[in-house]
Amino acid sequence: MAIGDTLRLADLASIDGVSYLDDPEETVLASVGLPAREIEPEPEEPAEGEELPEGEVPLELLVVGLGNPGREYVGNRHNVGWMIVEELARRHGASWKSKFSGQLAEIRLDGHRVGLLKPETFMNESGRSVGAAARFFKLEPDAILVVHDEIDLEPGRLQARSGGGLAGHNGLRSIAAHLKTSDFLRLRVGVGRPGRGDPRRPADYVLSNFTAEEDADTLVARAADAVEKLDAEGLQRAQTEFN
């Protein structure tokens, strides 16, 4: 039997003198499906005070790209954070693994060990993924950089900052709740608001795709440059060059 085949009672040779209580055409004896995909278990969080294995370099920065999982969200303004960490992974030849209710990759920037995280919890529950990663790697808030869309910045503008308000962004709210602080690093990526005459609500606008005029590729590349600058030379230098 091949994948997708089904063996019914009616497929068997009839036996003289034997009658069936169930309909032979409806009674399934066996079917062949795809083997179950092995799901990699989430890594256990280290015990309090546990040290990294000898020789292992600690993670110096976790870059979190916010977005929603699913094909229908690819190219959305709300997924620009995902797009930026994917660009960083592409530049540095990193591969993704399922970790912390999301996708995790690791790269080296200026000799530093840097994690890239794409939460797959949907935007409003991003903190579950970020909180788990922060506890596992024992990261302070100033070692976590959250890259997200910002409707209060004009399209294409970037703003690096530390802490600040949550600006009505549900992903940021969730992260602040799980970290129990809002004093993490941010890279705000301007996507603007609906233009004059555009009837869409902001929530619907950010769930629509970038237009050709907005040139998402250039925006994503520049934002990835800003992340690399921040890691190499610090927040203030990144602010001077990109804000």
Positions annotated as catalytic residues are 78
Cβ 156 vs Cβ 190: under 8 Å? yes
> What letter does residue 75 receive in the DSSP assignment?
T
Q: Which two tokens stand for residue 104?
A: 């995790």
Give the bridge partners for 8, in sequence order: 28
Q: Which two tokens stand for residue 168?
A: 């009505």
What's the per-residue H, E or C state across 30-56? EECCCCCCCCCCCCCCCCCCCCCCCCC
Instruction: Say which residues have a Cβ less than 8 Å from residue 18's Cβ, sequence separation at least 6.
Output: none
Residue type at position 119:
P
| 2 CA to centre of own chain | 36
Give the bridge partners for 99, in sequence order: 102
The interaxial angle of helices 80-91 and 216-233, nearest 10 deg, is 70
Cβ 243 vs Cβ 160: under 8 Å? yes
